[in-house]
């Protein structure tokens, strides 16, 4: 096992993973008996917490480092707050949740491949 970990292929696979490449790399290696074994290098990645502001992260789809594009849209809480404001007699204020970003959901997208990455809900 130790011999395999010191082989150039495995070291290259580990370095690729540390450089931000795919988190899982399969590398076939010839053994003494002429068989092939598959080495899988897996890198643990901390989950990204998406907030109300753009986040600088690595896209799990295209592996590019970028700052997310945030799209703000009304969510169910926005509508409920507007209805609640109407119910308490403040119908003129019911537009406020739609005007203020604090009461809307934020969807994060990759700026390189436009993939949906995550969402923040107030």
Q: Which residues bind Zn ion (CB under 5 A)?
A: 59, 61-62, 110, 112-113, 115
Q: CB nearer to Zn ion: give 50 or 103.
A: 50
Q: CB nearer to Zn ion: give 67 or 87.
A: 67
Q: CB nearer to Zn ion: give 81 or 117.
A: 117
Helix/strand/coil (H, E, C) string of the chain?
Answer: CHHHHCCHHHHHHHHHHHCCCCCEEEEEEECCCCCEEEEEEECCCCCCCCCCCCCEEECCCCCCEEECEEEEECCHHHHHHHHHHHHCCCHHHCCHHHHCHHHCEEEEECCCCCCEEEEECC
For the CB of residue 23, give the shortest distance to Zn ion in the complex, in Å. Answer: 14
Q: CB nearer to Zn ion: give 13 or 110.
A: 110
For the CB of residue 59, give the shortest distance to Zn ion in the complex, in Å. Answer: 3
For the CB of residue 16, give the shortest distance to Zn ion in the complex, in Å. Answer: 18
For the CB of residue 60, give the shortest distance to Zn ion in the complex, in Å. Answer: 8
């Amino acid at each position: 096992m130790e011999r395999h970990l010191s082989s150039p292929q495995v070291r290259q696979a580990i370095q690729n993973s540390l450089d931000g490449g795919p988190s899982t790399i399969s590398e076939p290696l010839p053994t003494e008996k002429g068989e092939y074994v598959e080495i899988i290098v897996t890198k643990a990645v901390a989950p990204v917490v998406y907030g109300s502001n753009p986040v600088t992260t690595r896209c799990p789809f295209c592996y590019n480092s970028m700052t997310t594009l945030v799209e703000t849209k009304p969510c169910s809480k926005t509508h409920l707050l507007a209805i609640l404001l109407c119910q308490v007699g403040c119908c003129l204020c019911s537009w406020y949740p739609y005007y203020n970003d604090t009461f809307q959901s934020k969807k994060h997208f990759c700026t390189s491949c436009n993939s949906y990455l995550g969402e923040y809900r107030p």
